[in-house]
Amino acid sequence: MFLSLGSNLGDREGNLRAALRLLEKQGVHVVRRSSWYETDPVGYTDQPSFLNVVVEVRTSLDPHELLRCAQRVEAALGRVRTVRWGPRTVDVDVLLYGGRVVNTPDLVLPHPRMRERAFVLVPLFEVAPELVLPDGTPVAALLPSVADQRVVRR
Ligand code: GSY
């Protein structure tokens, strides 16, 4: 299972580290963490740049429990949804849950926008270079199409 975390408000690295600690406390164990990546905002671009990270986790939570856990972490760190795609203390997205495909109103897996986001694909490739998506696409094959997005490893 893989999660993507991003922050573009306040002490961004501190926010991401706090989010990872809160995940651990709820039984979501980080087995591998990417470097921190400085990334330009995607979507709503008139906002500060992000610090992003991808983690591989192990948990006995099912996909929806994992989603709720991610949402609790966002809430605990004071995320306030003002502008839909706007600045946030911490955003925690569930990217992949093994080879599971989930299509429910509140959760879609694999994450529906992960294929076009360099801030997800580049750190994901760092932690799992051999990873293949449930439809058979290697993550490595998706990287060239996002090469124009600025993602700088710290
Ligand atoms: O869902 C992710 C939040 N987000 C990000 C992000 O984490 N990083 C970058 N670079 N752009 C983003 N746009 C959105 S929305």
CATH code for the domain in which residue 83 is found: 3.30.70.560
Q: What is the pLDDT of residue 88?
A: 73
Q: Where in the sequence is the domain holding 35, given as residue range(s)? A: 2-153
Give the β-pairing of 50-58 and 29-33.
antiparallel
Nearest to 87, CA basis, from 15, 3, 2: 15
SS3 114: helix
Find where tokens 């948990």 sit. 59
pLDDT above 90: residue 99: yes
Nearest ligand 1 atom to the CA of 42 is: 11
Q: How far is the CA of 43 from the centre of ligand 1 (A)?
A: 7
Burial, 80: exposed, middle or buried (Cβ in 10 Å; 0-12, 13-18, 19+)?
Answer: exposed
Average pLDDT, the chain: 94
Start-to-end Cα distance in the chain: 24
pLDDT of residue 85: 65
* Distance of alpha carbon 94 from alpha carbon 141, whole angstroms: 21
Residues 6+ apart with CB under 8 A from 42: 117, 118, 119, 149
The number of folded domains in the chain is: 1
Atom of ligand 1 nearest to the CA of 113: 1
Rg (CA), the chain: 14
Tell me if 113 CB under 6 Å of ligand 1. Answer: no
| Per-residue pLDDT tens digits for 51-77 | 999 999 999 999 999 999 999 999 999
